[in-house]
């Protein structure tokens, strides 16, 4: 799908950064920079790196799925084309149909899990999913025939593991014994009332994940995906604007201490 319009007419700054891991591939979509190592079906030399401050695209949103499937939306800075979708969703016809029905260029949220599972949500709140019955019950907390849930994001991982964040900011998870280091971080975040700002579970590697919390904490285990940790931390700092966040939190903490 290609939408013809003047790119300068619209502001997409509300679109959040996105993390995606799948097998030995990864892609991190940000406001200032997007980069990753992707399947050859997407890019012949595997490596992709986009500077959205000076480059021709203002956004590169790529969600990776098993069997080299992917969803891609590009936003172009100049010319007549505002958005271009060039996705390979051969195993996910329901996702294609959903995007057509709801005129979705870039979903508010999309995640591909193992065995053809997925969850997608549009900006207008419509949802579609293909999930195991217990994930529908325990994560989305709806009956099997429901078309709507209270979920904002549902991240799917290896062995039917999942993390769900609801629209009120609370979250639940069942990692089924996988992603052990992440489980500890999620429990601590729950105790402290911290939200998830960005997350990816690698559906093909039960040790590989990346997570950014609303208090600025970044947790990851590259695993099979093999991304460089220091580069990822720098990308998070810039694209989640963590320096500003840490400065704000320090000021709040200092003010709180002064008042005691």
Q: Give the tens place of pLDDT for each residue, 187-230.
A: 999 999 999 999 999 999 999 999 999 999 999 999 999 999 99
32-90 pLDDT, tens per residue? 999 999 999 898 989 999 999 999 889 999 999 999 999 999 998 877 666 788 899 99
Backbone angles phi, psi at 24, to 5 degrees: -95, 15
Neighbours of 192 (CB within 10 A): 11
- Assess if residue 157 is contained within a domain: yes
**Helix ranges, the chain (H):** 93-101, 133-135, 180-192, 229-239, 242-258
Q: How many domains does the chain have?
A: 1
184 in a domain, yes or no?
yes
For residues 226 and 45, is the Cβ–Cβ distance under 8 A?
A: no
In a domain, 71, yes or no: yes
Whether 260 is covered by a domain: the verdict is: no
Structural domain of residue 60, as residue ranges? 2-255
What is the model's pTM? Answer: 0.91
């Amino acid at each position: 799908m290609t939408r013809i319009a003047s790119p300068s007419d619209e502001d997409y700054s509300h679109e959040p950064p996105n993390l995606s891991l799948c097998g030995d591939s990864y892609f991190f979509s940000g406001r200032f920079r997007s980069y990753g190592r992707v399947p050859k079906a997407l890019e012949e030399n595997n490596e992709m790196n986009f500077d959205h401050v000076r480059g021709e695209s203002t956004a590169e949103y790529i969600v990776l799925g098993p069997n080299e499937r992917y969803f891609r939306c590009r936003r172009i800075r100049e010319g007549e084309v505002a958005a271009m979708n060039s996705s390979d969703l051969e195993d996910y016809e329901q996702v294609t149909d959903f995007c057509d029905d709801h005129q979705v260029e870039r979903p508010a949220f999309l995640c591909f899990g193992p065995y053809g599972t997925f969850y997608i949500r549009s900006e207008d709140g419509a949802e579609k999913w293909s999930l195991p019955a217990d994930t529908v019950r325990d994560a989305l907390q709806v009956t099997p025939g429901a078309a709507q849930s209270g979920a904002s994001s549902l991240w799917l991982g290896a062995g039917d593991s999942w993390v769900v964040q609801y629209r009120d900011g609370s979250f639940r998870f069942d990692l089924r014994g996988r992603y052990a280091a992440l489980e500890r971080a999620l429990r601590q975040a729950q105790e402290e009332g911290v939200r998830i700002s960005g997350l990816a579970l690698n559906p093909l590697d039960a040790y590989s994940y990346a997570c950014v919390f609303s208090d600025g904490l970044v947790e990851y285990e590259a695993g099979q995906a093999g991304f460089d940790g220091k580069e990822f931390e720098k990308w998070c700092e810039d694209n989640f604007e963590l320096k500003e966040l840490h400065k704000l939190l320090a000021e709040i903490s200092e003010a709180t201490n002064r008042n005691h």
